[in-house]
Chain A
Amino acid sequence: MNPPPLAQRLLEGVVPAADREIVVGDLAEAFAQRRRAGRHRAVAWYWIQVLMFGLWYASRRGRARPPGTTRRRGAASLSGWRQDLTNAVRQARKRPLFSWIAVTTLALGIGGTTVMFAVVDVVLLRPLPYPFADQLIAVELQSTTGASLNHSEPDYLDFREYRTAFEDIGGVSGLTISLSSDGPPQELNAAWASGNLLPLLGIQPLLGRHFTDDEDVDGGPDAVIISYGLWQGRFGGAPSVIGRRIVLDGNPHTVVGVMPLDLPAILPRTFRVAPPFDLWLPLEASPDRFPRSARFLMVLGRVRSLRSAADAQTELDRIASDMRARFEDRERQDYGLRAVPLRDAVVAQREGPLALVFGAVALVLVIASGNVANLLLARTTERRRELQTRAMLGAGRARLVRLMLLEGGVLAAVGGGIGVLLAAVAVRYLVPMVPVDVPRLDQAAIDLRVAAFAIGVSGAAVLLCAGWPALRAGAAGPVGSGVRTVGSRDHRRVHRLLAGAEVALALVLLVGGAVLIRSMSAMYRFDPGFDPQQVLTFRVGLPGGEDGTSFIPTADFFQQLTEGLAELPGVMAAGGVTALPLSGRGMSIRYYDGTDENGRFADFHVVTPGYFESVGARLVAGRFVDGSDRQGGRNVVVIDQTLADRVWPNAAAVGRTMRLFSVTSLDPFHMGPTDAEVVGVIQPLMNHDPREDQLPQVYSPHGQVPFQTLSLAVRGETALPSTEAIERTVHALNPALPVADVRPLVSYVDSTFSTTRFVTTLLGTLAVLATLLAAIGVYGVLSYLTAQRTRELGLRLAMGATGQDLARFVVWEGMMPAMGGVAIGVVLAATMGRSLSGLLYGVDPFDVGTVAAVASGLLAISLAACLVPARRAGRTDPMVALRNE
């Protein structure tokens, strides 16, 4: 019978106390009457009433007046707003130079911040475009060796079986596969996904259907769903593609569906095969196909609609403890599961640098606002007579504050408007030129959200710039109450505070920029262990089964291929490897070094003869892999110097036997420990980003461990070998094989450094800009303060001070805030340095030498900014100074 309690509570909040009881009572009574006609209508009516009362009283707030007065004052104050606004515009136009400086500064600051927000928003903040994307959870595996998103197939099936908080759980991995029908052979990225994954994500095929249950079973019909891009490119966008048979890795598959355009990523880019995917294959998971140690699946689930992420976590904890109890092997001891929002798992991992740049741009905006605040503050002081007159004529404190806020507001509004225009241009034309591969970056645009952000930033800029001046103006006493001292002392303190703050923020940015630059140069000095120049690389994968055209045993095929490539004119050497350095691919193996019975991790590669020569690896001892290393002979390996030093620190490694264990059953030594003779030791190759851990390396000959997919490296004598010649050589052996990912070796090096280089350039530029702004700020404050004190300086001169004394005095006055700022900036830099550490190599985020250099540089710049006003002070003519005013 009662009105909705929340609505009633709100109503009580908006109606003034005097009328509250009556109004709420009246409406309750009216509600009760309406209730008889139908509850829903009555509730809706009541809410509308609450809204109306809320709007009504909110619009009257601030117009409250004591009883007995008429309404006219309200009208007067409304026109007062207009008056003040007109006045603010007039003030801005009266001093065009001042206004332009302020507007330009703010426009650049707001524009820059808006661009960065547009990018950060679309890349980092927005939810993934799946229905109810916040219910999607990625399951992360946590163990002492680190966190990972990969799980084994049996584990995944257990998660599915024991789930309660999850509506469904799906698994997905990536693989490369070759398409050899309907045109030239092509290597494709495939998502290997459980049949329930697409429905779970809420993706509807554009054409056709999802996988059926019997297609997602081992031995079921071979079905495939293709991407929009592949459909358009390979099949001309014809709807008849549904039901067509296509040949993947030599096996015919039936196309059952076409994905819509713009499918967002579901696998993080750290996976071996990352999106965008060209096609989707059913996972066909079974409990006994792979062992629990073969972890290659990303597992994700949708939480039931009334359950929370916390419920999901509780459930995962329960499952993990079950697993620990069920499997008492060593690996399970530290087994833990964590629920991670899918968006964080997919997007947030590698885009940290973006947030960093955003923060840096925002800092520049704060410094810019500080400069405008200084200008406005100085104007307030100049105008103290005007303000005092206004106060005398009856303008209250609030009115004066409003006046000044409006003046700041007009500047910020114009600056913000221009800033948004600049941002729109930059987002349209500059952002696409960014050399960093960031997902969804191309979708950045100035939309309502971004515009709202820009308005918010402009508002914040108004408060930053005009807040203090406004309060000062409000405090302007009537004329005669100490004209000369109005705000002088406080005022100077605020000016110095602003200058100090600018120096502090500039120092933070400069330290960040300098540390990044040092790290960059350290990265370029890192010895990669190979020579990436003039090497062309590509990938060839032999089909899993017979492809019906030709069948040559894998080892023979690659031997013939590398020999054929090496004979091409202008080619010095050619060889194949399972994963090129810095390609982000690779396998692991464990080696026994006599300390840990389970062995330690190393990078594992399989290479053909000629590989080391073609990438320019350097031999330390023994020999490279050669044609004599074949199956049936003694197992041999080449290791790197790091591993040799670790296992045999005091003796030569060549000729010794190394014991190797598998990591997963997917690698060649899954039968158990294998012994191999070390035949060569090389300088370590840079397999990973130098900022990551470089594992020791083990290389097995392809003749003994025949992998079906290899990356080939071909070194030219003077220039890159030609792509056509390479394709001809491959197709002479097997015309159905795709030649994938043709690119120079040096491009792997470049892409490893590109994000850092981009962030470094940007942050460096911003730091220089910030320093410039801060120097202008310090200079502006000082010259203003000095001019203000001409009279005082003149008095000091008259009383016997020398020009040098005055100059020293002025410098001291300027250096105080600068030194304070440096001190605070150092503290800030120390606390904020951690956010940089992921980007750095070989240099501490709070590198003492760098900080010291930056601090002294900033102090020198501040000193230079002080010198001009100081010289002016030193030349003060006492008579002029005293006559002044």
Chain B
Amino acid sequence: MTQRDSVGEFEQLVMLAILRLEDDAYGVPIVEEIHQQTGRRVLKPAVYVALRRLEDKALITSWTGDATPERGGRAKRYYQVTKEGLERLRDSRRALLRMWKGLGGVLEGS
């Protein structure tokens, strides 16, 4: 058994959003992507904290982008999921699918 920190559901959502946004993955769009796909309203500060945490765990990386006048000359930070992060997402997907196996009827029937 590998002894790794588990990745919480919220953190998974953030990583998946980054993947879906491809080259345009930064703060506000990530929040909006999660909202659009899941219908959940997430707290923006929670997303920023999650991003920092994921980066600390080396599951995502970031680089500084251009500073537009719209941003008042402030730098923009783009995010990308690392190999390690992708691995972790696959792990949890696999685990979930395995747990779901055979339960489709039970849960979808109602």
Contact = CB atoms under 8 A, between A and B. Distances in A.
Interface of A: 1-2, 15, 18-19, 21-30, 32, 49, 52-53, 56-57, 60, 67-68, 70
A15 B48 CA distance: 10
Given A19-B48, A22-B75, A28-B70, 8 more contacts: A21-B74, A22-B74, A25-B72, A26-B27, A29-B28, A29-B71, A53-B44, A60-B49
Contacts of A23: 27, 44-45, 48
Contacts of A29: 28, 68, 70-71, 76
B77 A52 contact: no
Given A22-B27, A49-B44, A70-B5, A28 B56 contact: no
Most chain A beta-carbon contacts within 10 A, residue among B5, B26, B67, B71: B71
Contacts of B77: 22
B39 to A, nearest CB: 19
Nearest to A27: B28
Interface string B55-87: 010000000000110111011110000000000
Contacts of B35: none
A28 B71 contact: yes
A775 B46 CA distance: 57
B63 to A, nearest CB: 12
A49 B48 CA distance: 13
B76 A57 contact: no
Interface string B84-95: 000000000000
Most chain A beta-carbon contacts within 10 A, residue among B45, B46, B75: B45
Interface of B: 5, 26-28, 43-46, 48-49, 52, 56, 67-68, 70-72, 74-77
B44 A52 contact: yes
Contacts of B71: 25-26, 28-29
Contact of A26 (B5, B26, B46, B52): B26
Contacts of A30: 28
A53 B56 contact: no
Nearest to A3: B72
What 3 A-B pairs are tightest by C-beta distance, nearest first? A25-B74, A26-B27, A56-B45
B43 A52 contact: yes
A22 B27 CA distance: 8
B45 A53 contact: yes
Contact of A2 (B26, B52, B72): B72
A68 B55 CA distance: 10
Given A19-B48, A30-B28, A25 B76 contact: yes
A57 B43 CA distance: 12
B43 A25 contact: no
Contacts of A2: 72
Nearest to A30: B28
B45 A26 contact: no
Nearest to B57: A68
B72 A57 contact: no
Given A22-B27, A67-B56, A28 B72 contact: yes
Most chain A beta-carbon contacts within 10 A, residue among B46, B67, B70: B70
Nearest to A2: B72
Nearest to A53: B45
Nearest to B32: A30
A18 B70 CA distance: 21
A255 to B, nearest CB: 63
A823 to B, nearest CB: 56
29 contacts: A15-B45, A15-B48, A18-B52, A19-B48, A21-B75, A22-B27, A22-B48, A22-B76, A22-B77, A24-B72, A25-B67, A25-B76, A26-B27, A26-B71, A26-B76, A27-B44, A28-B70, A29-B70, A29-B71, A49-B44, A52-B43, A52-B45, A53-B44, A56-B45, A56-B46, A56-B49, A57-B45, A60-B49, A67-B56
A23 B49 CA distance: 11
A32 B46 CA distance: 22
Nearest to A18: B52
Nearest to A14: B45
A27 B44 CA distance: 10
Most chain A beta-carbon contacts within 10 A, residue among B28, B52, B56: B28
A598 to B, nearest CB: 72
A9 to B, nearest CB: 12
A56 B49 CA distance: 10
Given A49-B44, A52-B43, A25 B56 contact: no
A117 B68 CA distance: 56
A32 B27 CA distance: 15
Contacts of B68: 29
A657 B74 CA distance: 93
Nearest to B46: A56
Contacts of B48: 15, 19, 22-23
Nearest to B69: A1
B45 A24 contact: no
A53 B46 CA distance: 9
B52 A28 contact: no
Most chain B beta-carbon contacts within 10 A, residue among A2, A24, A26: A26
Contacts of A22: 26-27, 48, 74-77
B36 to A, nearest CB: 15
Contacts of B75: 21-22, 25
Contacts of A21: 74-75
A594 to B, nearest CB: 83
Contacts of A1: 70
A32 B44 CA distance: 17
A560 B89 CA distance: 112
